[in-house]
Amino acid sequence: IAGITQAPTSQILAAGRRMTLRCTQDMRHNAMYWYRQDLGLGLRLIHYSNTAGTTGKGEVPDGYSVSRANTDDFPLTLASAVPSQTSVYFCASSADRGRTGELFFGEGSRLTVL
Amino acid sequence: AQSVAQPEDQVNVAEGNPLTVKCTYSVSGNPYLFWYVQYPNRGLQFLLKYITGDNLVKGSYGFEAEFNKSQTSFHLKKPSALVSDSALYFCAVRDGDTGGFKTIFGAGTRLFVKA
């Protein structure tokens, strides 16, 4: 079934460690996104990518980096994790229909930083 | 910069009654507006969107939403609520004029439908 695959589904991480959350889509969508979901704050955009080779900052980009080397993959890296980055992370993608395409979401990656 | 406000943390409604989940937005260009639903421990699922045209948009599971440009609102509605509609609902906005796919979400509204 076509869609978005995120890995890992859950991870406990010591503060200061480096972590990469993986995201792969097989729908050939040009745009991809990373959001974090925190209770009472909804979904906040971390980084996004309009197309392969380009990335943009969202609402809460500090402490995170992304790359978009190809259409399918959009990894999110925490260079040195801190407890405030404990959250559920969602990857999403959308098709290019004059930028009107809706987002398709993965099932999320639950990250706990101790 | 674009933003979304969902003024109600929770909406309670009895099964069979109409429901409304409120959303207001702010963008500098033309708004592209979306509603999504999230069930426990799952990713978000698309319900409906407004891009242009008729202000009343119909979507999945009997939901509809009304775009009101003067009030900068995009409220989600359903004529008759079901217990199975109980979930977390998110409104989102994209600026249709500034280019790019940057999409901003609101904080979410939890809908509770009582039997």
**Could you give the CA distance from residue A13 to residue A45 in angstroms, rounded to a whole number?**
22
Nearest CA in chain B to A5: B43
Say yes or no for a CB contact (<8 Å) between A45 and B103.
yes
Nearest CA in chain B to A6: B43
Please report the pLDDT score of residue B93 as a whole number.
94
Amino acid at residue number A38 = D
Helix (H) or strand (E) holding B19, with range, is strand B19-21
CA quadruple B88, A7, B4, B75: dihedral positive or negative?
negative
The verdict on A100 touching B (C-beta cutoff 8 Å) is yes
**Could you give the CA distance from residue A81 to residue B8 in angstroms, rounded to a whole number?**
33
Phi, psi for A74 (deg, rounded to 5): -145, 75
Say yes or no for a CB contact (<8 Å) between A50 and B101.
yes
Residue B91: closest CA among B1, B12, B6, B14: B6
The verdict on B29 touching A (C-beta cutoff 8 Å) is no
The verdict on B107 touching A (C-beta cutoff 8 Å) is yes
User: Rounded to the nearest 5 degrees, what angle is found at the Cα of A26, between the Cα atoms of A109 and A48?
Assistant: 55
Confidence of residue B114 (pLDDT cuts 50, 70, 90): very high
Q: What's the token pair of residue B93? A: 């906005």
- In this structure, which long-range contacts are made by residues A82-86, counting pairs with CB atoms below 8 Å and at least 24 apart in sequence? A82/A15, A82/A113, A83/A15, A83/A113, A83/A114, A84/A113, A85/A36, A85/A111, A85/A113, A86/A111, A86/A112, A86/A113
Task: Residue B92: list chain A partners with CB under 8 A.
Answer: 103
**Phi-psi bin for B72: left (phi > 0), alpha (psi -120 to 50), beta?**
left
CB–CB of A61/A82 below 8 Å?
no
Report the mean per-residue pLDDT for chain B.
94
Percent of chain A whose predicted confidence (pLDDT) is above 90? 86
Residue A89: closest CA among A110, A58, A66: A110
Confidence of residue A1 (pLDDT cuts 50, 70, 90): low
User: What is residue A83's three-state secondary structure?
Assistant: helix
**Could you give the CA distance from residue A24 to residue A96 in angstroms, rounded to a whole number?**
17
The mean pLDDT value for A27-43 works out to: 92
Amino acid at residue number B13 = V
Question: Nearest C-alpha of chain A: how many angstroms from B1?
Answer: 10
Say yes or no for a CB contact (<8 Å) between B43 and A105.
yes
CA distance from start to end of chain B? 41
Please report the pLDDT score of residue A98 as a whole number.
64
Task: For A63-109, write each residue's pLDDT tens digit.
Answer: 999 999 999 999 999 999 999 999 999 999 998 766 788 999 999 99
Report the mean per-residue pLDDT for chain A.
93
Task: For B47-92, write each residue's pLDDT tens digit.
Answer: 999 998 899 999 999 999 999 999 999 999 999 999 999 999 999 9
The mean pLDDT value for B81-110 works out to: 91
Name which residue leads in pLDDT, A111 or A101.
A111
